[in-house]
Amino acid sequence: MRLEHLRFSTGRGFLRVEPMRRAAALSAPWPDSWQHGVALAEVAQASLWADEPDAQEAVATALERAEAINHPRSTAYACAAASMGAEFANRPGGAALAARGVAAAAEARDWWGFVHAALWEANATAPSSGSDWAACLQERRRQLEGLDGPHPYLAWMSVGEGGGLLRAGDWKGCTDRLRVALGSDPGVAADVSARLVAAQLATLQGRQQEAENHLARADELFAETSGFLAFQFDAVRAQVRLGAGDPEGAYEAAITGATSPGVPPTLCEWLCPLAARALADLASAAGDVDGAGDVLMARLDDLVTRFPHVIADSAYVTPDYRALLDALDALYAAESARARHDPDETARWRIAAELLDGVLPWDAAYATARAGEAVLVRGGGSREEAAALLRRAHSRAQELRAEPVLREVVALARSARIPLVGVGAPGAARTADHPIAGLTARERQVLDHVVAGRTYGEIARDLFVSEKTVSSHVSNLLRKTGAANRVELAQLARHARHASGGPT
């Protein structure tokens, strides 16, 4: 059994059922020993991961035997396996079972058992995409620190916490946790887990070479990658390949994860949206090349037929997890519509942006930008709606430092002549900042909007006046400043502010 744990923690391979069954058989002559109890629990865990038909029966046997043995080590492992079994079978009570396992592992000072139970407690408490999941791990990490747990186990907990913070949009907190994990030798498993989270963060923020380096190091450290179901190799690899402009590689990585044997791998919920995004990117690049579109649509049809919805990591669906699945389902449908150039693409992106908002910040920023693009390119909405969507995406991407989304939004806004900083927003000039003398208060307000690049219609709606009144104010501004047109008027105002030391 220890050999199997070492094989797991050094990335030589994922947990196997047969070695655990052999451990249980070897310890069977001592049925009241904690060693036999732990072996039975590990048979249950390995069977659950392998999705074997008798896995739940093995869970019940392990828990029953642990109750009889009444030793903290066997209790810790049996309760962790029972929590895992509850999650897989859509039964409540998983969090309480895992918490009991944590307490037993702390009593036995079994650090492997402690981390295992703590991770399943978090899984049973909240979706791994939210701050509640990270908070649960933070509490257990601090408990482990108080017990003087070894750094490799603290690092493992820190990485899990950091991954949850990343998915919740707290990239600064994620960076702090990664710094702790990699501050000294964390051991192979924690190192690889940290590299995968770091690669994901670097990709989302546009540091592509850093992402490639982290992923390459994770591949070097682990002999097993896609088959290592507890780690998010496939989802992260798909994201990194998309960041590198390699949609074909992204599609292959996502499909590998989606079709892997056993239970779904970590971050499986993102695999279908990532695969559809890769096909949409390929369709955009193919353009009108003869036959290319038909092949891509056949691949998309096959994907959607095999996976009509995103892959759920657990049968036990809480309201929060349902919100996550619904949001990613909407993203999946929007990417599929983009690949097909469907007439309802704009509506699909609107729905995705709305459902992702407040659930998955990174995906929400991306979907909002796509929604703005769809309104501009596909139609189905007004220029004002497109401007509002792009500004919202720009603001969110700035908070996240999501450079790839920022670049897309800025390019779209520039081509559509949409200002991203609205009047009254941070970075916009205030009415009192105008150094041009002789203007009325209303003319100063109109000039603010002209400098921001607003249309007559947008200015009229914002100031609650008619477009004819706006036109009259602009005519007065041109006369008073001597500017030949609106563009020259805006340039004149910017130069005047710059000369006076005000914001431009």
Could you give the domains of the chain?
431-500 (1.10.10.10)
Residue 450 backbone dihedrals phi, psi, to 5 degrees = -65, -45
Task: Write the single-letter amino acid at 349.
Answer: W
pLDDT of residue 262: 82
DSSP 281-313: HHHHHHTT-TTHHHHHHHHHHHHHHH-SSPPPS
Residue 427 has pLDDT above 50, yes or no: no
- Please say whether the beta carbons of 396 and 365 come within 8 A: yes
Nearest CA to 234 out of 221, 251, 222 is that of 251
Mean pLDDT (the chain, rounded): 89
pLDDT band of 207, cuts 50, 70, 90:
very high
Q: How far apart are alpha carbons 204 and 211 in whole angstroms?
A: 9
pLDDT tens for 61-99 read 999 999 999 999 999 999 999 999 998 888 889 999 999
Q: What is the mean pLDDT of residues 210-239?
A: 89
Q: How far apart are alpha carbons 178 and 195 in whole angstroms?
A: 9
pLDDT of residue 218: 92
Tokens of 135: 């908070």
Angle at 200 between CA 199 and CA 201, to 5 degrees: 95
pLDDT of residue 78: 97
Residue 434 has pLDDT above 80, yes or no: no
Q: How far apart are alpha carbons 384 and 300 in whole angstroms?
A: 33
pLDDT tens for 290-306 read 567 889 999 999 999 99
pLDDT of residue 484: 81
- Please say whether the beta carbons of 23 and 7 come within 8 A: no
User: Can you state the percent helix, strand and coil of the chain, rounding each to 5?
Assistant: 70, 0, 30
